[in-house]
Structure 1
Amino acid sequence: MHTLKEIYQDNEERNFIDPSLYSRYRVKAGLRNDNGTGVKVGLTKICDVIGYKIIHEKKYNIDGQLIYRGYPINYLVNKQPSDKICGFEETAYLLIFGTLPNADQLKTFKDYLLNFKMGPVDLQYETPNILNALQIEVLKLYAKDPSAD
């Protein structure tokens, strides 16, 4: 079995884009401007990604930081006390409602999730790929929502 690095290297030529094409067609390289700063793609209070700092008008790359609702992801993963991590339900609550839940809010939210019924599951779309399965389920929810757009 190949490692991910070996698979990437085997396919690198197939995925290479000549850097000169970005300026020729005035296309952004990923989410970067020509000067290496990030491109604003929308306004949100949910998430931010920080990849550089500007100090005295000079840009310095830093280790990327993912921030959810003002909390760095490292804080959420390593949340105090040290034996308590910020689990799925706490993070989902934070993303949906904008704040970390207290104990009562977390219990109410977990109870809601445990008791939520979506109706019968259509098994004709079974797949061993978890991301594919998630995509299918999201699309099924979209189809059931009368005001999805």
Structure 2
Amino acid sequence: MYMIGDAAKASGLPTKTVRYYADVGLVKPDARSQSGYRLYGHAELKKLIFVRRARAFGFSVDECRELLDLYEDRERPSREVKKLALQRIGEIEMKMEELQLLHHELSHLAEACRGDDRPDCPILSSFADDEELPGLRP
């Protein structure tokens, strides 16, 4: 059994995050020590690592819960897992497009800025503009 600090260290997560995952019912401690500390077994440690990796791919806590349920269900169809992965890929692709637009616009603004001793700055003027950047969601 791992005390929460040891489980956090072994899983590569901050203790606060492990505590949060327990509080939201994502990865529950296996038991509690006599003094009330959360204790994690090997199975829970594997789940913490699983969640850390899934979160690194940008899956939400709710999506991680769904992925954990699928992981634990040995009768699951793999299409359900693939569906979640493909949805996440679509979200990543949308974010990449947004970032590319931001990169293009900010590069254009930086190029237009003289960067000298004068106070006028197209970068700041653009930030104060009421118009949204084209193609970006608010």
TM-score by length of 1: 0.29
Larger radius of gyration: 2
Q: Greater strand share, 1 or 2?
A: 1
